[in-house]
Amino acid sequence: MSSGFPDRRMRRLRRTEVWRKMVAETRLAPEDFVYPMFAVEGSGVRNDVKSMPGVQQLSVDCLVDAAGAVHAAGVPSVILFGIPSEKDAHGSHGYDPEGIVPTAIRALKEQIPTLNVWADVCLCEYTEHGHCGLLTSEGEVDNDTTLPLLAKAARVYAEAGADAVAPSDMMDGRVRAIRDELDGANLGHVPIVSYAAKYASAFYGPFRDAAESTPAFGDRRGYQMDPPNAREALAEVALDIEEGADMVMVKPAGPYLDIIRAVREMVSVPVSAYQVSGEFSMIHAAAQNGWLDLRRAALESLIGIRRAGADLILTYFAKEAAEWLKEG
């Protein structure tokens, strides 16, 4: 050819918006999102989370209203985190049938019955020390004594009407303990969405403001995954599926797209990914400084997570993104 390159011109199918949409290899829809929400005790409470623009701690009455707006935007699911008025060494409010999360679940299922409600299962929001399990006398997190409490919390949430329970603690064996507990309580229909590959990440900072769950000492690197490790993530995922997980999750999402892809290629169960608070807040901060276009950057980050292989995305952008997608 005299022109020096092949007849195929890749730009032909990019020229117009119609063509770009028609040949898109990855699609994003409101049904892909799960919206995280923070429930607190009281009435009429709407506490802004300063490090997360637009995110609030909500009392149950306000949470129901906010969840209704999220659902009306087309987002089918929310995941609940609870902030109790009191904490103790055993995280007892985390498995109290009258605790903040079961109370919120019952209200949501009563008033928005078509909303899919997930419950995060962990003790970090409920323990006075902020760790995800009970402590030994030496101050180490005690894996095995924590398992029955996680299982009890999952059962309490399922009995309140949760459509899924999502253990995020990273204790070894917790999926099996929860599966046995649910099955034994005639709640075998409730799926387990396991935070199977949850990394000890610096990107969780703003979440700890929202959930008031910063550890009082040390950190969580002894039980959450070390960021350099990929093969270990696949082992964690395989173990959780063997124990009975119905869906697995990678957390965070953006810095771990390679892990999402590797998990997607390895397993047949659905894969979710959590676009965490730090990812959300960074995009907002850059947009506030005029460095990024908020809408374009947020949607691009989400399509990247989907392209990597996530079937569902937990994201604080869920409502906004759903509305943006409807606008076209």
Q: 284: domain CATH number? A: 3.20.20.70
pLDDT at 207: 77
Question: Which among 87, 152, 198, 319 is annotated as catalytic?
Answer: 198
Question: Which among 50, 251, 319, 326 is annotated as catalytic?
Answer: 251
pLDDT at 319: 98
- Kindly state whether residue 5 falls inside one of the protein's structural domains: no
Question: Is 35 within 8 Å of 315 (Cβ atoms)?
Answer: yes
- Kindly state whether residue 226 falls inside one of the protein's structural domains: yes
Question: Is 78 within 8 Å of 36 (Cβ atoms)?
Answer: yes
Question: Is 157 within 8 Å of 121 (Cβ atoms)?
Answer: yes
Q: Mean pLDDT throughout 125-138?
A: 86
Count the neighbouring beta carbons within 10 Å of the beta carbon of residue 62: 19
Any catalytic annotation for residue 251? yes
Any catalytic annotation for residue 319? no
Question: Is 176 within 8 Å of 167 (Cβ atoms)?
Answer: no
Name the binding residues for Mg(2+): 236
| pLDDT tens for each residue of 159-205 | 999 999 999 999 999 999 999 999 999 999 999 999 999 999 999 98
- Kindly state whether residue 63 falls inside one of the protein's structural domains: yes
pLDDT of 253 > 80? The answer is yes
Record the pTM: 0.94
- Kindly state whether residue 6 falls inside one of the protein's structural domains: no
pLDDT of 316 > 60? The answer is yes
In terms of residue numbers, what domain contains 289?
A: 27-327
| pLDDT tens for each residue of 26-77 | 999 999 999 999 999 999 999 999 999 999 999 999 999 999 999 999 999 9
Euclidean distance between CA atoms 320 and 298, whole angstroms: 9
Euclidean distance between CA atoms 294 and 29, whole angstroms: 18
Q: Count the domains in the chain.
A: 1
- Kindly state whether residue 53 falls inside one of the protein's structural domains: yes
- Kindly state whether residue 235 falls inside one of the protein's structural domains: yes
Q: What is the mean pLDDT of the chain?
A: 94
Q: Mean pLDDT throughout 121-142?
A: 87
What Rg value do the Cα atoms of the chain yield, rounded? 20
- Kindly state whether residue 319 falls inside one of the protein's structural domains: yes
- Kindly state whether residue 97 falls inside one of the protein's structural domains: yes
